[in-house]
Structure 1
Amino acid sequence: MTVSERHAPHRDAILGLLAATDRFRSASEVHVELLRRGSRAGMTTVYRVLHQLAEAGELDVVVLGDGARRYRRCGPAAHDHLTCRRCGRTVELPTGWIHDWAQTVADRHGFRDVDTVLQLSGVCRRCAVSAAGGQQRSMAHGKQADTH
């Protein structure tokens, strides 16, 4: 029995979990959710299966500012990602013009066989509004404290 066959139930559970979200998730987040759903997969198994799925092109991988790899089930068309640094929400971006531009730059400098990976990150509207609301509450509490 191969590793892939042995982990098929875990593979299917991970693919199902990631297909149901528009967020990239860390291995730890995947593991916790699998346990919540009744799986008995260990953390090592989760890492191994995520790695195999990414290598097979079943999952996309991004590395955000904290250095942690995050995984997501994406559509089959070529794309890049715009990912929220706070909640992990992700939007797929069409890549045609980006790759055309990269090839033009490469040609200009005599490079061939160019690979491009564009990874954009920022803070989504929902997280920005949530953070702004928290700042307003903090400021209001600070003003109250100053007036007493």
Structure 2
Amino acid sequence: MDSVAALLRSKGERMTAPRRAVLTALSNATGHLSMEEVVTAVAESAPSVHRASVYRTLVALSDLGVVQHVHLGHGATAYHLTGAEGPHLHAQCRRCGAIQDLPNDLLSEVARRMGAAHGFELDATHVALSGLCAECAAIDGDDHIVDELPTDHRHGHHHSH
């Protein structure tokens, strides 16, 4: 938390109570959290921080590069601390909903080719790649893909750009 506070200060920002509560919730998480999961965690640890403050704080921390958010299937958005390695890519299994972190340079060649051929600057850290995880891909002969992800992977938060 001290390194995040130092980073915020270096950008002329303060460590407010809502920021501390959101950052604590994310740092205590074992994976990516939905907006509702962050709100719930903050409500448990800092009940005085309102839901709207949690949302505004997540947006501000994302804009500052302290928190990374990724758009998952079915309109869901997940949040996590960016970490020392910086933003990275995500893949989501379209069958079980599992999220896997991937190295940021995985699509470097694709990004280079898109830039050269189309003048397009790719930011693949903002959305999750879709496919099948190793476990689901190994299921022999079962092509069934669930229409709805498990409840803990559906978040209902829509983020517009």
For 2:42, the equivalent position in structure 1 comes to 34
Does the alignment pair 1:24 with 2:10? no
| Structure 1, gaps ≥5 residues long | 130-148
| Secondary structure at the counterpart of residue 72 of structure 1 | strand
For 2:62, the equivalent position in structure 1 comes to 54
CA distance in 1, matches of 2:29, 2:96: 12
TM-score relative to the length of structure 1: 0.64
| Secondary structure at the counterpart of residue 79 of structure 2 | strand
Q: 1:103, CA displacement in angstroms?
A: 0.6
Percent pairwise identity = 28
For 2:82, the equivalent position in structure 1 comes to 74
Q: 1:96, CA displacement in angstroms?
A: 2.0
Q: Higher helix share goes to which structure?
A: 1
Q: 1:38, CA displacement in angstroms?
A: 4.3
CA RMSD after TM alignment: 3.3
Residues 31/88 of structure 1: CA separation in 2 closer, same or farther (3 Å cut): farther
| Secondary structure at the counterpart of residue 91 of structure 1 | strand
| Secondary structure at the counterpart of residue 66 of structure 1 | helix
| Structure 2, gaps ≥5 residues long | 1-12, 140-161
Report which structure shows greater RCO (CA 8 Å, sep ≥6): 2
Structure number with greater Rg is 1
TM-score relative to the length of structure 2: 0.60
| Secondary structure at the counterpart of residue 62 of structure 1 | strand
Residues 27/85 of structure 1: CA separation in 2 closer, same or farther (3 Å cut): farther
How many residues get paired? 123
